[in-house]
Structures are given as structure tokens and as C-alpha cells.
Structure 1
Amino acid sequence: MIYEERDYHIKPGKLQTFVGLYRDHGVELQKKHLGTFISYFTTEIGELNHVVALWGYESLDQRAEMRARMLADPEWSAYLAMVDGLIQSQNTRILTPVDFSPLQ
């Protein structure tokens, strides 16, 4: 199993708008297309205006196939138009759990 960490830096003052749009329009679309939804986080201390999403996949190939299907969905394009201008930057990391991790 691999995990994808997506870290979004949201423009100041737009965090609740971004989270609300994702809750109402984005998360179910992603659940329909992507791997295992692990969780969604916002920050309270440290760097503010961050959202972190975690997804689990069997492999990088599975991730690529699932993301390609999602990107081809017109509903996903409509959601992206809703959040256009709210994201300042984004980082994505692929995480592999160590043998003693509870997430395998």
C-alpha cells in the first residue's frame, strides 16, 4: 500500500470557503474515482491556511489509472472551476509505510 499526501496552501481568508466547497462538491467525486480516503485535515498551529488530504492506493499504477479517470470526469472539471483562485500552492508526496506502521 502507498499513501498520497496532498498539502494545499490556501489563500488567506479562503480556508473555510475551500473546505466547504470540497465537502459539498469535491470529496464524493473523489471517493467515486480514487483509492481509499484516509482523512482530511486543516491546521490550527504552525503554518496556517493549510489543508492536508490523505489517500491510499495499492500501487502507483492504480493511482495513475484512478486519477486519469477522475480528470476525465466533467463533474471534476466543474469542481476545479469552483476552487479556482483559492489555492496558493500545492505539494504532493507519495508515502510508503515502514514495516511497523499501523497503516499497511
Structure 2
Amino acid sequence: MLYELRVYHVMPGKMQAIQARFRDHVIELFSKHGMKITHFWDDVDTDKNQLYYIVEHENMELREANYERFRNDPEWLELRRVTEADGALVEKQESIYMKNVPFFKNN
């Protein structure tokens, strides 16, 4: 299993908007394209304006194919257009890819 930690540097004043977009639409859209979000956080230091989440993928090849379908989904394109009518919600996005280590078992 491949775990992707996505870090969003959210535009000032847009945290509620990005969280609403995920809550109301994007989590379901990701699922439609074979991507499962397993954890979601915002930073304790609200001045950082950062949002974090984990997406599970079978492997990197499926990750790429799933995101390609998502990025080209007409529903996503319209949602992004509508939710960013007053400007972008995200300044920058980073991804960190992780895999389990054999010595650690989560009980």
C-alpha cells in the first residue's frame, strides 16, 4: 500500500471554503476515482493555514491513473470553477509518499 500525505498551504481566509469543498464534494469524488482518504487534519497553529490528509493507493501507477481521471472529471472541473470564483483556495500543495515498514505492527 502507498500512502500519500498531502499538505495544502491554504490561501489566507480560505480554510473554511476548502474544508467545505472537501466535506461536501471532494471526498466523494476521490472515492468515485478509487482514492480513499483515511485521515484529515488542520494545523493546530492556525497562522500556518495548512490542511493535511492521507490518501491510500494500491501503488504509484494507480495513483497516477486515478488522479488523471479525477483532474479531468467534468464534475471536479465545474466544482473547482465555482468554488474558486473569488480566487484560488490553495497557494501550494505538497505530497509525501510513504509505505509501511515491516517491523511495525499497528494494534
- The question of 1:76 aligning with 2:76 is answered yes
C-alpha displacement of 1:41: 1.1
Change (3 A) 1:77 1:87: same
- The question of 1:95 aligning with 2:75 is answered no
Q: What CA distance in whole angstroms lies between the structure 1 residues aligned with 2:97 and 2:15?
A: 24
1:42 is matched with which residue? 42
C-alpha RMSD over aligned residues = 1.9
Q: What CA distance in whole angstroms lies between the structure 2 residues aligned with 1:66 and 1:16?
A: 26
Q: Does the 8 A contact of 2:30 with 2:36 survive in 1?
A: no
1:14 is matched with which residue? 14
C-alpha displacement of 1:90: 1.0
Q: What CA distance in whole angstroms lies between the structure 2 residues aligned with 1:46 and 1:92?
A: 20
**Aligned-pair identity (%):** 28
Alignment TM-score, normalising by the size of structure 1: 0.85
Structure 1 alignment gaps of length 5 or more: none
- Length, aligned pairs only: 103
Q: What CA distance in whole angstroms lies between the structure 1 residues aligned with 2:12 and 2:37?
A: 26
C-alpha displacement of 1:75: 0.5
Deviations 1:44-66 (A, max 9, x none): 13762111121111111111111
Alignment TM-score, normalising by the size of structure 2: 0.83
Structure 2 alignment gaps of length 5 or more: none
Change (3 A) 1:44 1:98: same
